[in-house]
Amino acid sequence: MVTGVSRDAGARCARRLAADPSIETVIGVDVVPPRAELGRVRFVRADIRNPVIAKVIAGEDVDTVVHTGVVATPGSAGGRSSMKEINVIGTMQLLAACQKAPGLRKLVVKSSTTVYGAGPRDPAMFTEEMAPRAIHQTGLSKDAVEVEGYVRGFARRRPDVTVSTLRMANWIGPQTDSPITRYFELPVVPTVLGYDARLQFLHESDGVEAIHHATVEDLPGTFNLAGDGILVLSQAIRRLGRPVVRLPSFTASSTAAVVRRARLADFSPDQITFLTYGRVVDTTRMRTEFGFEPRYTTAEAFDDFRAALGPGAVTTASRLLTAGLGAVRG
Partner 1 sequence: MADADVIPIGSGGRPGRGSARRTTPSAAARSLAGKNYQRPEPDPQSEPDDLVDGPTAEQPAVDELPDFAGFEQVVRDMFGDAGERKVAEWLAFLRRRLTGQYEVDEFGYDAELTDQVLLSGLRPLAEKWFRVEVRGIENIPDTGSALIVANHSGTMPLDGLITQLVVADHANRPLRTLAADLVFRTPFVGELARKGGATLACNDDAERLLREGNLVGVWPEGFKGLGKPFSERYKLQRFGRGGFVSAAMRTGVPIVPCSIVGAEEIYPLVGNIASLARLLGVPYIPVTPFFPLLGPLGLIPLPSKWLIEFGEPIRTDEFPEGAADDPMLVFNVTDQVRETIQQTLYALLMQRRSVFF
Residues 174-233 that bind partner 1 (CB under 8 A): 192-196, 198, 229-232
Residue among 23 and 314 whose Cβ is closer to partner 1: 314
Residues 102-161 that bind partner 1 (CB under 8 A): 120-125, 127, 130
Q: How many CB atoms lie within 10 A of CB 174?
A: 14
| C-alpha closest to that of 114 among 270, 294, 240 | 270
Please state, in angstroms and rounded to a whole number, the distance separating the CA atoms of residues 28 and 3.
6
Residues near partner 1 (CB under 8 A), total = 43
Alpha-carbon dihedral sign for residues 232, 238, 242, 245: positive
Residue among 13 and 240 whose Cβ is closer to partner 1: 240
Determine the interface stretch with partner 1 among 33-41, 61-69, 182-190, 315-323 (rule: CB under 8 A): 315-323
Per DSSP, the residues of 93-134 read HHHHHHHT-TT--EEEEEEEGGGG---TT--SSB-TTPPPSS
Q: Is 249 one of the binding residues for partner 1 (CB under 8 A)? A: yes
Determine the interface stretch with partner 1 among 11-19, 148-156, 164-172, 322-330 (rule: CB under 8 A): 322-330
Least distance (Å) between residue 90 CB and partner 1: 34
Least distance (Å) between residue 296 CB and partner 1: 16
Output the CA–CA distances (angstroms, integers) from residue 316 to 178, 239, 310, 313, 323, in the order listed. Answer: 25, 12, 10, 5, 10
Least distance (Å) between residue 325 CB and partner 1: 5
Least distance (Å) between residue 299 CB and partner 1: 9
Residue among 123 and 153 whose Cβ is closer to partner 1: 123
Residue among 214 and 231 whose Cβ is closer to partner 1: 231
| β-strand partners of 107 | 65, 163
Least distance (Å) between residue 244 CB and partner 1: 11
Cβ density class 193-226: b for 16+ within 10 Å, e for less: eebbbbbbbbbbbbbbbbbbbbbeeebeebbbbb
Interface pick for partner 1 out of 235, 244, 260, 300 (rule CB under 8 A): 235
Please state, in angstroms and rounded to a whole number, the distance separating the CA atoms of residues 69 and 53.
13
Could you tell me which residues come within 8 angstroms of residue 46 by beta carbon, excluding any fewer than 6 positions away?
A: 29, 30, 31, 52, 53, 56
Residue among 277 and 292 whose Cβ is closer to partner 1: 277
Least distance (Å) between residue 4 CB and partner 1: 31
Least distance (Å) between residue 56 CB and partner 1: 42
Output the CA–CA distances (angstroms, integers) from residue 152 to 34, 149, 155, in the order listed. Answer: 30, 5, 5
Q: Is 309 one of the binding residues for partner 1 (CB under 8 A)? A: no
Alpha-carbon dihedral sign for residues 128, 9, 69, 275: positive
Q: Is 323 one of the binding residues for partner 1 (CB under 8 A)? A: yes
* CA angle 108–110–137, rounded 5-degree value: 130
SS3 36: coil
Residue among 27 and 236 whose Cβ is closer to partner 1: 236
For partner 1, what does the binding mask look like between residues 278 and 297, x meaning CB under 8 A?
x-x-----------------
| C-alpha closest to that of 145 among 134, 157, 159 | 134
Least distance (Å) between residue 260 CB and partner 1: 24
Interface with partner 1 (CB under 8 A) = 120-125, 127, 130, 192-196, 198, 229-232, 234-239, 241, 248-249, 277-278, 280, 318-330
